Chain A
Amino acid sequence: MSFDVPDDCRYLDSHEWVRQADDAATIGISDFAQDELGDVVFVELPDEGAELTAGEEFGVVESIKAVSDIYAPVSGTVTAVNDALFDEPELVNDDPYGDGWLLEIELADDSELDDLLSPDEYREQIA
């Protein structure tokens, strides 16, 4: 089975993705991650204004199979939270790179993006 790994994102080896747009970025979990977890039933996210530190956990995603911490691929300040997930956690399964996004942040240091996996490197990891 092959998993969707969009070219416009970069990845953390713990299966989070980040998509940059100027000084802002969107964060989510990968198609591979949602498939491994199975049906997501609950998502816990920080509030707007929270500070994320690259490599540290910032939330929890819970499925029927497991409860997993979510790690920040990059550092920054949370500017938007995907509130829709609180009522419809299945969006993470249905559209992990679109409607199932988790957070939008203002990047603290966009050079951190260089430390992440490229789409090809991530494809290799989950192959």
Chain B
Amino acid sequence: MNYAQARWTDDDDRYEPLLSEKSSETVSTEDGPLPDDLTRDSLTLPDVSEPELARHYTRLSQTNYGVESGPFPLGSCTMKYNPSFTEDLAASPDAAVHPDQPTETTQGTLELLYRLQDYLGRIGGMDAVSLQPPAGAAGEFAGILVAKAYHEHNGEDRSEVLIPESAHGTNFASAAMAGYDVVSLAGDDDGRVDLDALEAAVGEETAALMLTNPNTLGLFERDIEAIAAIVHDAGGLLYYDGANLNALLGRARPGDMGFDVMHYNVHKTFATPHGGGGPGAGPIGVTDDLAPFLPAPRVAESRGGYEYVDPDRSIGKVHGFYGNWPVLLKAYAYIARLGDAGLADASAKAVLNANYLAEQIDYEIPFGPFHHEFVASAGEQDAADVAKRMLDYGVHPPTTKWPEIVPEALMTEPTEAESRRTLDQLAAAFDAVAGESDETLASAPESTAARRIDQVRAAREPRLSWQSLDE
């Protein structure tokens, strides 16, 4: 099997130039209506024909690699294929509403938002949902703020949030940003929460335990009911990081396990596009006790229609208006299209695909049994070099070197979207790389349009805006 990504030059060091580097023209801006001291006298703009412009962007897209290029088993990220029909819906004129429109004219939008609140609540086993947070990490932060407001309303001044050391970095950041001291919990030998360590760490300062289940090794926290009891007995809340909800979809619910607050990553579980700087959505769900503190507003039923309401003791707004409506619409469409049976089928196939792929590859997988993802070890090889080399076989590599509990980690999550043939292609890439020398790995990638990136220079001399073009 050969792979060669689109290329357009004989010179290996030459990437597609910037538009302004192709050809540019300086135009006078002196005739503008704005005051002279606020404007530039001239402006340099790219000067290219329409075909040149079209080819420029097509070339850039050809040097990218996405879910529509090939398998993308980036562990913990749940890189599902984003169905086109959801894009069509979000782009349709019927979806084009203005947030300041009178609600009498946006009843359809409100109805869908209301239903999405209901669907997410039922999927997570949560009593109330806010759709406002604009991303997964933003939802996480909002969820911790809701937990904090709940404690404060009850006259409790708790200072600590407990987080397993293998958790996503956002957990530590969310807790710290909310003003909490983070207490990191070591795991047990099986890669799960150590109940003795939890008992020892929990106390009257414990505001919450943040947990991902299945955890970042793909392992289900079998003691979740005992964990919930320990945290609740101390007066703390249990926070569910929805990053791995795709493993449980339609089969088990965080609410039933004793979780009090959770966030949903709609870009993972419900197949909306991953950020890349664009708008996202990270709804949060809570139990009845915490519902009064949710961000404002939420959508409620009223006299045969729908309206916005502010929860009584809301933490306030965490984003403009009602959240990122087009993204929420895509998540709604995905859930509605799949239905109960389809969602349960998705999680089953996600788990099956991960386990099938794991059986095919030569790398050791120290922890199991796992669900929707597994963490293999590159052993004596450097995991980052393995990742670079996998690009040469036309597949996206797994997440590397994390979680650190597995040496030279290759964190792999194929998702339910891949066929058996694609999984076999992926396994062939893993195994080809597993048998290669360190020298081959160190010089990879060779088949991609862009070769090994100079990470040191990129970090030391970042060029982050058009202004740096002048430097």
Contact = CB atoms under 8 A, between A and B. Distances in A.
Nearest to B462: A41
A127 interface: no
A31 interface: no
B456 interface: yes
Interface of B: 455-456, 459-460
A30 to B, nearest CB: 21
Given A42-B459, A64-B455, 8 more contacts: A39-B456, A41-B456, A41-B459, A41-B460, A64-B456, A64-B459, A89-B460, A90-B460
Contacts of A41: 456, 459-460
Contacts of B459: 41-42, 64
Nearest to B458: A41
A72 B245 CA distance: 42
Contacts of A89: 460
A80 B455 CA distance: 30
A42 B458 CA distance: 12
10 contacts: A39-B456, A41-B456, A41-B459, A41-B460, A42-B459, A64-B455, A64-B456, A64-B459, A89-B460, A90-B460
Contacts of B455: 64
Interface string A15-51: 0000000000000000000000001011000000000
Nearest to A41: B459
B463 to A, nearest CB: 14
A117 B460 CA distance: 33
A41 B460 CA distance: 5
Q: Which residue of A41, A42, A90 has the most chain B CB atoms within 10 A of its CB atom? A: A41
Contacts of A39: 456
Interface in A62-91: 64, 89-90
Contacts of B456: 39, 41, 64
Nearest to A93: B456
B125 to A, nearest CB: 36
Closest 10 CB pairs of A and B: A41-B459, A39-B456, A64-B455, A41-B460, A64-B456, A41-B456, A89-B460, A64-B459, A42-B459, A90-B460
Contacts of A90: 460
B442 to A, nearest CB: 14
Interface string A82-113: 00000001100000000000000000000000
A39 B456 CA distance: 7
Nearest to B459: A41
Nearest to A89: B460
A107 to B, nearest CB: 30
Contacts of B460: 41, 89-90
Contacts of A42: 459
A88 to B, nearest CB: 8
A42 B459 CA distance: 8
Nearest to A87: B460
A84 to B, nearest CB: 13
A64 B456 CA distance: 7
A108 to B, nearest CB: 26
A62 to B, nearest CB: 8
A44 B455 CA distance: 19
Nearest to B456: A39
A43 to B, nearest CB: 11
B441 to A, nearest CB: 17
A90 B459 CA distance: 11
A89 B456 CA distance: 11
A31 B76 CA distance: 36
A90 B460 CA distance: 9
Nearest to B401: A65
B271 to A, nearest CB: 32
A55 to B, nearest CB: 18
A95 B257 CA distance: 54
A68 B117 CA distance: 41
A12 to B, nearest CB: 21
Nearest to B455: A64
Nearest to A88: B460
Contacts of A64: 455-456, 459
